[in-house]
Amino acid sequence: MRVVSGIQPTGDLHLGNLLGAILRWTAMQEEAEASRFFFLADLHAITVDHDPAQLRRNVREMAAALLAAGIDPERSVLFAQSDVPAHAELQWLLACTARMGWLSRMTQFKAKSGKNREKASVGLFTYPVLQAADVMLYQATHVPVGEDQKQHIELARDIADSFNHRVGEEVFAAPAPYIGSGRAARVMSLRDASNKMSKSDPSDMSRINLTDDDDTILAKIRKARTDPDPLPDNLDGLEERPEARNLVGIMAAVTNRSEEAVLAEFAGQGFGAFKPALGEALVALLGPIRTRLEALRADEARLDAILDQGAQTAREAARPTLDKAYAALGLRR
Ligand code: TYM
């Protein structure tokens, strides 16, 4: 079992990242037989306009956040993508197999480029090819991601199959998305449950950030959009109630229960009772992570040392597959 996943070092870690990905990465550290590679996708972060000084800060900040959330450098390789040039190299080799049509179907590109498609960077378009390289380089079998990344990982699988077929050799393992159960796979905005919780939402009230203090967390939950009805006693009763469904899903993920168990506790009660309980559960989960983050971010030398060590391990792990890909294509290197 080879576990590989990444996160863009843009802004704060939010509850969607934590429940959809990071806390599942940390849970996978319990698997003794697995190797794990987690990285900060800084090459992906430059596909849109950015501030270089901010990116430099964000890489350290995100590394600190992952460590605070429980990523253990003794059990996982933690590194910055740009420290391992093989990612960019393999991306080119794969770009010559990936098809325009496949990339044109990617919903994230459509959403991010919007009406301004002609002005989008080429990198934004080929973003999923780099993402395929990220996981194929380490022969990933499991790629733990939230629902929104599923399409990209399925594309990586197509690219792997197609490349192997093209060269007549099993150069790459076929990666598979590994999505969490329940609603955590897709945590929605607190203001509008038809959008996912996201760092790019202009309203900070739409998300819970890892850096929010307890009062802010409680206030955001208090103000989260809901409906006036009491909670039902079964999931069918949430069908037409996306906001209620989202909050119940968050409660289930945060307290490690099923949504049914949450409804069994709160059936018949309104949000006046449910929201304070959810707020407290979030404070209990996030408070200790935030405290660790504050200590970790002060120690830049330690963060850099962890990232340097991770990069060295990742470079060594990536080399055999990259060499194999060059050779299979008949290239001289
Ligand atoms: P990114 O940085 O947007 O998000 C990091 C992880 O958090 C998950 N996530 C969510 N899960 C549930 N609900 C949400 N509202 C939510 N928002 C984000 C994402 O699914 C992701 O798992 N392209 C990737 C980064 C990447 C990558 C990779 C991932 C680059 N290379 C290789 C896996 C493998 C991205 O932008 O994720």
pLDDT tens-digit map of 23-39: 999 999 998 888 999 99
Let me know if residue 285 belongs to a domain: yes
Mind spelling out the 3-state secondary structure of 153-184? HHHHHHHHHHHHHHHCCCCCCCCEEECCCHHH
Q: Atom 24, ligand 1: which residue's CA is nearest?
A: 7
Strands (E), 41-111: 77-80
Instruction: Say whether both 83 and 159 belong to one domain.
Output: yes
- Residues with CB under 6 Å of ligand 1 are 5-8, 16-17, 20-21, 41, 44, 131, 134-135, 143, 145-146, 148-149, 185-187, 196-198
Q: Give the per-residue pLDDT at 101.
A: 97
Which structural domain range is residue 261 located in? Answer: 204-295
Round to whole Å and give the CA distance between 265 and 208. Answer: 24
Ligand 1, atom 18, residue with closest C-alpha: 17
Taking only the tens place, the pLDDT of each residue in 90-132 is: 999 999 999 999 999 999 999 999 888 999 999 999 999 999 9
The CATH number linked to 257 is 1.10.240.10
pLDDT of residue 21: 95
Tokens 């380089």, residue?
Answer: 137
pLDDT tens-digit readout, 232-275: 999 999 999 999 999 999 999 999 999 999 999 999 999 999 99
- Beta strands of the chain (E only): which ranges? 2-7, 35-40, 77-80, 142-144, 176-178
- Interhelix angle 122-136/86-95, nearest 10 degrees: 110
CATH number at residue 38: 3.40.50.620
Is 150 within 8 Å of 179 (Cβ atoms)?
Answer: yes
CA 9/CA 69 separation, integer angstroms: 15
Q: Provide the domain count of the chain.
A: 2
* 3 Cβ contact list (under 8 Å, min separation 6): 25, 28, 31, 34, 35, 36, 37, 140, 141, 142, 143, 144, 178
Residues 96 and 219 in one domain: no
